[in-house]
Structure 1
C-alpha cells in the first residue's frame, strides 16, 4: 500500500513539474463555469474588441485558465488563432504546438475537445465540446450551452493531456 502511495505521489509531482495535469474534464469544467457570462459577448469590449465576435478568445481563455498550451499567430504578443484557423484540420498553428490531435470522426468527440465550424466567408465559430451533442461557446449575447449544429461542417481537436510538454 505504501508503495502505491509513493508511486502516486511521484506521478503527481511529475505531472505538476511537466504541466501534464490538464485534463479534458478540466477544460470542460472551465468552459461550463462561464455559461451565461457576457465577457465574450459581441457588444463587450473585452480585450479592446468592441462589437467583434470573441468565440476564439473564449476558447483561448478557457485553455489558458487550465494551463493548456494554446496555438498562437505570434510568439511575442497576444495573438490567439481565429475560429476559421481552429476549423482548419491541417492548421500549422495548432499542429506546431505539438499538443493537439485532429479527431476525424464527429462520433469520436469527447468533452473538453475544441470544436470549430469554419465559414468560407467570415470568421467561423469555435467552442468546447460538452455532454451529449452540445457545446459551450461565446455567442452574440453571452456564453451559451447549445446543441452542436448537425448541418454544419466541423473540425474537432483533442488536447494531448499526457504528452510531454503539453
Structure 2
C-alpha cells in the first residue's frame, strides 16, 4: 500500500508537469472546439433574435451577446464595458483590430485569418467561425450558420481566445 504522503507528492508532481509541459494548450483547443460546438448547437434559436426580450430587450441587435454567451458557456470569457454599461463589448468593438478592450486582455489575440472557434467581426456584426468559410451568428430572426464574413467585399477581423 502506498504511503499517503507519497500520493500527495505524486499528485503535486503531476500538476506541475501539467503546467510546465504546455498541456494547457490542450485546454485552449478544447475551449475553441467547445465554442464552435456550442455555437452550432444554437442554430435556429430565437433567443438572441432582434425581437427577443433577452438581455437588452426587444428591437435590439444581440449578436455580441450571442458570442459572449457561447464563449462563457465554453469556459472562456469576453471583455465587458464598465462605464455605466456592464454588458459585453459590442460588435463594432469586436470588429476593431486595435480594440483597447481586446488588446489589453491577454486572453485574446487578433488574427488576419481565422479557424473554427475564433470570433469573426466586421461591419457592425459579430459571429463565430464554425466551418470552412462558415460562421454562426445571431441574425435578425434567429441564429444562423452561413457564409457571413466570407462574402466578397466584406472586411472582417478575427479574434482567438488563448487562455
TM bucket, shorter chain: 0.7 to 0.9
Alignment match, 2:127: 127
SS in 2 for 1:47: coil
- Bigger relative contact order (CA 8 A; separation at least 6): 1
Counterpart of 2:120 (choices 104, 108, 115) is: 115
Distance 1:116 1:131 in 2: 15
| Number of residues of Structure 1 aligned to a counterpart in Structure 2 | 145
Give the alignment's TM-score, normalised by structure 1. 0.77
Give the alignment's TM-score, normalised by structure 2. 0.79
Distance 2:42 2:129 in 1: 14
Cα deviation code 1:85-134 (max 9, x no counterpart): 00000001011221111112x3xx1100000013xxxxx00000011111
Alignment match, 2:27: 21
Distance 2:101 2:153 in 1: 27
Task: Give the RMSD, CA atoms, in angstroms.
Answer: 2.7
Distance 1:48 1:102 in 2: 27
Query: Post-superposition, which runs of at least 4 consecutive aligned residues in structure 1 deviate over 6 A?
Result: none
Q: Which runs of 5+ in 2 are unaligned?
A: 1-10
The answer on whether the counterparts of 1:24 and 1:159 sit within 8 Å (CA) in structure 2 is yes
Bigger-Rg structure (1/2): 2
The answer on whether the counterparts of 2:68 and 2:77 sit within 8 Å (CA) in structure 1 is no
